Amino acid sequence: MSDMVDERTDGAASDETTRVKPVVAVVGRPNVGKSSLVNRIIGRREAVVEDVPGVTRDRVAYDATWQGREFTLVDTGGWETSASGLAAMVARQAEYAAETADVILFVVDATVGITDADEAVTRVLRATKRPVVLAANKVDGPMNDADALELWNLGVGEPHPVSALHGRGTGDLLDAVLEAMPEEAPRESEPVLGGPRRVALVGRPNVGKSSLLNRLAGEERVVVDSVAGTTRDAVDELVELGGKTWKFIDTAGIRRRFRALQGADYYATMRTAAALERAEVAVVLLDVSEPLADQDIRIVEQVVDAGRALVLAFNKWDLLDEERRYYLEKEIDRQLSRVGWAPRVNISAKTGRHVERLVPAIEQGLASWDTRIPTGRLNTWFKELVAATPPPARGGRQPKILFATQADVRPPHFVLFTTGFLEEGYRRFIERRLREDFGFQGSPIKLTMRIRE
C-alpha cells in the first residue's frame, strides 16, 4: 500500500495530468533585476536580494495572482551554481525554465543593452516552443523608453518597458504574461464546502460499526438524510458530537444487515467505495479481539487510495488481555506501518471507553487533509532539504529538484519539477520529512513529479 500515486504502476510517478497552476519562469542574467521584479509582482516589500552570480537564493518559487488569475512565479536565479562562465550558466537556467514553464519572462537590463549572456539566453529561448515575454527592466521613466526599443534587436518580440524598482509598466507586462498563458480549463467539481463534515465509518463485518454508531448517535435516529443516485438505500445521519454536527455516510449500510450469499465481499467493497466517495474522512474500525485480517488491510488501502483522511479505531478494547495486546502491537507494526501517520484511538463501543477521543482524531485528520503550504515556504523548505540530502544519482546523472508546488488539497498533493527521475526511496524520504516538519497527521499525501530530462 502506498499513499504516493503511481507507485503501483511500476514506480513511474511521473505525472502530466495533474492540474497545476501555470508556471511563469523569470530568466535573465544576474543583476538585471529578476528578484526585484519577482518581489514587485508578488507584492512583497521585503528587502531585495542582491542579484549576484553564484550566490544561491533561498527561495525560488512563489504564489502570484494577476487579474484574478493564479500562477506560480519561479525565479531561476538559484538553479545553477556551478557556473562555468556566465553565458553558459544563464543559458542552462533558461533551458531548465523552458523545460518547466508555461511562459518565460525574460528580463533584460535596458540601461545596459544586449550583452553576450542575454544573447546566450535568447538562443535557448528561440529554440523552445514556449511563449516568451520580454521585460526591458530599469526603464524608470519615459526618457528611458528609447533604451527599451533597442531590445527589439534580440528577436524575441516586443520589449515591455518596466521599472521593477518603481513598479512602472509591470501591469502591462503582466497582462502580456496572462495573454501568453495556456487557456484555463474549468476546475473540476470542487468538494462541497460548508455543511457538516462527512465521515464514513468503515470496517469488515462484526468489528462493531453499528454498536459504535449507536453509541455515538443514540438508538434514536433524529435526523436522516436520504441520498438519491448513489448506493441504493444509502442513508446519512446527522450526529451531534463534541459540539458540532457531523454527517455519517451510508448509515443504512451499517445499521442494516446485508447478507448476500454470493459475492458478499464484492458487495461490501462496493458499498465501502461508495461511502468513501462521498466522505471526507474515514474511521476504519478494527476488532482487537481477533488478528488483523487481510480484509482490514484492504479497507485501509481503499481509504488511502480514495485520498480520504484516515483515523484508525481499535475497537473491543475491553476484550484485550496482555498477551493479545502484545501480538496486536506486532500486527500493527507489520501490517499498518505504511499508515503510521494515521491517528489511533483505542475504544470500546460496548463500554464507551475513549469514544470521546474519536472527534479530536477526526478533526486532526481533516485539518491535515485541508492543509495548504504556500509555495514560497514550500520551496525554502525543499531547498534546505535537497542541500542537506541531495537525490541519489541515476545512471551518472543527479536529478535536480527545480521547484515544487502544492497542486491541491484534500488530500495535499505536491508536484515536484525535476530534471530526472526521483527514486522511490527518495520520494519516501521526502514524504517522511514533509510529515515531520508540517504534520499532515491523519491525511495521505500525494507526491508526483514533472520530469523534464
* Smallest separation (angstroms) from ligand GDP to the CB of 292: 15
Q: Is 246 annotated as a binding residue?
A: no
Bridge partners (DSSP) listed for residue 286: 314
Residues sharing a CB contact under 8 Å with residue 138, sequence separation 6 or more, in sequence order:
32, 33, 109, 110, 111, 144, 147, 163, 164, 165
| Residue 32 labelled as part of a binding site | yes
- Find out whether 74 and 23 touch, Cβ atoms under 8 Å: yes
Flag whether 420 is marked binding: no
Can you say how many angstroms the Cα of residue 417 is from the centroid of all Cα atoms in its chain? 13
Query: Distance between CA 24 and CA 73 in Å, rounded?
Result: 5
Tell me: is residue 315 an annotated ligand-binding position. yes
**Which residues, in sequence order, are bridge partners of residue 73?**
24, 62
Radius of gyration of the chain (CA): 27
| Closest CB to ligand GDP among residues 22, 203 | 203
Nearest distance from residue 318's CB to ligand GDP, in Å? Answer: 5
Residues of this chain that bind ligand GDP (CB under 6 A): 203, 205-211, 254, 315-316, 318-319, 348-350
Closer of 348 and 419 to ligand GDP (Cβ): 348
Looking up cell 451510508, which residue turns up?
A: 250
- Residue 119 grid cell: 544573447
* H-assigned helices in 144-282: 145-149, 170-180, 209-217, 251-255, 264-278
282 annotated among ligand-binding-site residues: no
| Helices marked H in 33-115 | 34-42, 86-100
Nearer to ligand GDP, 219 or 436 (CB): 219
Q: Which is nearer to ligand GDP, 313 or 415 (CB)?
A: 313
State the nearest-atom distance from the C-beta of 389 to ligand GDP, in Å. 44
214 is in an annotated binding site: no
444 labeled binding residue: no
239 is in an annotated binding site: no
The residues near 308 (Cβ < 8 Å, ≥ 6 apart) are: 200, 276, 279, 280, 281, 282, 369, 411, 444
Instruction: For the CB of residue 346, give the shortest distance to ligand GDP in the complex, in Å.
Output: 10
Between residues 64 and 299, which has the closer beta carbon with respect to ligand GDP?
299
Q: 40 vs 133, 167, 196, CA distance in Å? A: 17, 7, 41
Minimum CB separation from ligand GDP for residue 350, in Å?
A: 4
Q: How far is the CB of 315 from ligand GDP (least distance, A)?
A: 5
Which one, 15 or 236, has the nearer CB to ligand GDP?
236
Residue 34 annotated as part of some ligand binding site: yes
Q: How far is the CB of 211 from ligand GDP (least distance, A)?
A: 3
Q: Judged by CB, which is closer to ligand GDP: 264, or 319?
A: 319
d(CA 249, CA 237): 7
Diameter over CA atoms, the chain: 86
Which residue sits closest to ligand GDP, CB atoms considered? Answer: 208
Known binding-site residues equal 28-35, 75-79, 137-140, 203-210, 250-254, 315-318
Where is the binding site for GTP, in residues? 28-35, 75-79, 137-140, 203-210, 250-254, 315-318
